[in-house]
Amino acid sequence: MILCLGLAADPTFTAGLRAFRRAGLDFRPVDLPSLAMRGNIRIPLDSPGDTVLSIGDDRHRVGDFSAVWCRLVEVASAAPTPELAAASAGQTEALARILEFVPGRVMNPPLREASGFTKVLHSVALGEVGGWQVPETCLTSDPAEALDFVRGCRTGAIFKGASATKTWATVFEPHHESRLPLLVRLPVLFQERVIGPDVRVHVVGDRSFGELIDSPVLDYRTVRGVNDYRPLEPPPEIAGGCARLTAHCGVPLLGVDFKIDRVTGEWFFLEANSMPCFEGYDERAGGAISRAIAGWLGAEA
């Protein structure tokens, strides 16, 4: 039996549950906002597997499950009262720590891959594991350094936030120069622009599912109805690097992002998401990603 921790309002979570149902898996979903509002967690300090999640009359002992699928989305900021916000934040922190020690398979332990708190460390460290090159990068709060970097970029530059917070990449244009003095308040990540299609590779264990995305805009996630999506079998060196990455990080599910230089054909690693929203990619892949997730969770340890 699989314990599923997530949000009933999260499309990725509900897509996963539908896939488990189609696969004939026995699972028990737990809605995290409901747990915060109406439930509780009992944690024996000497036996994490005996942790019990209760919502009304429903009680789930973590150690009774052969596997756990978790999408611990932060919801405390949306809580209607300070008390519920504190309860939600505390429960999320507790679950993240408990899942490091419970028996059985876990997809994905939330604390296992933590390099994403800073994008430079993340791209350099994980790119080295995969054996991939990354775009020329400059993280700075110095306006002069930023301007020198941008002017030295052969194909132009992009910029984005440097932390783990979701951010949109933006092409650096001449009118942005007047805003560079704002860098003294907060560093920004600049990169040389790679002109060409995006590739998202979803990795489940050692299996890779690739999709090539050609878009008229820099960040294909910001538009709908104009992107060209095509299935793509990752080259052996990319697939092998992705498998090494899941093993290195200790997380069996990753969404790995690349850019391909349209002129040279070179692949550049951007980042790897340990909690990817995979449902759109999965739908276009005929359910292959969710079937692989179900297979991994349902496999005997």
Segment 101-119, tens digit of pLDDT: 888 899 998 888 665 556 6
Provide the pLDDT for residue 115.
58
CATH topology of domain 136-192: Dna Ligase; domain 1 (3.30.1490)
Topology (CATH level 3) of domain 195-274: D-amino Acid Aminotransferase; Chain A, domain 1 (3.30.470)
pLDDT at residue 27 greater than cutoff 70:
yes
Q: Which residue has the tokens 């970097």?
A: 149
- The confidence score (pLDDT) of residue 32 equals 92
- Give the range with max mean pLDDT: 47-51, 172-176, 220-224: 172-176
Sign of CA dihedral 262, 163, 12, 291: positive
Please state the pTM of the whole predicted model. Answer: 0.91
Ramachandran region, residue 205 (left: φ > 0; alpha: ψ -120 to 50; beta: rest): left
Residue 258 — pLDDT band, cuts 50, 70, 90? very high
Mean pLDDT of the chain: 91
Q: Which sequence spans correspond to the domains of the chain?
A: 2-107, 136-192, 195-274
Q: Do domains 136-192 and 195-274 have the same CATH topology?
A: no
Q: Which of 14, 17, 57, 65 is nearest to 39 (CA)?
A: 57
CATH of 2-107, one of 3.30.43, 3.40.50, 3.30.70, 2.60.120: 3.40.50
What band does 301 get if pLDDT is binned at 50, 70 and 90?
very low
Say which residue the tokens 């028990």 belong to.
Answer: 28
Q: Does residue 266 surpass a pLDDT of 70?
A: yes
Per-residue pLDDT tens digits for 115-164? 555 666 677 778 888 889 999 999 999 999 999 999 999 999 999 988 76
47: how many CB neighbours lie within 10 A of its CB? 10
Share of the chain above pLDDT 90, in %: 68
pLDDT at 215 over 90: yes
Helix (H) or strand (E) segment spanning residue 154: none
Sheet holding 39-42, edge to edge: 39-42, 52-55, 58-61
Q: Which of 101, 85, 91 is nearest to 6 (CA)?
A: 91
Binning pLDDT at 50, 70 and 90, where does residue 170 land?
A: very high
For residues 175-203, give the mean pLDDT.
95
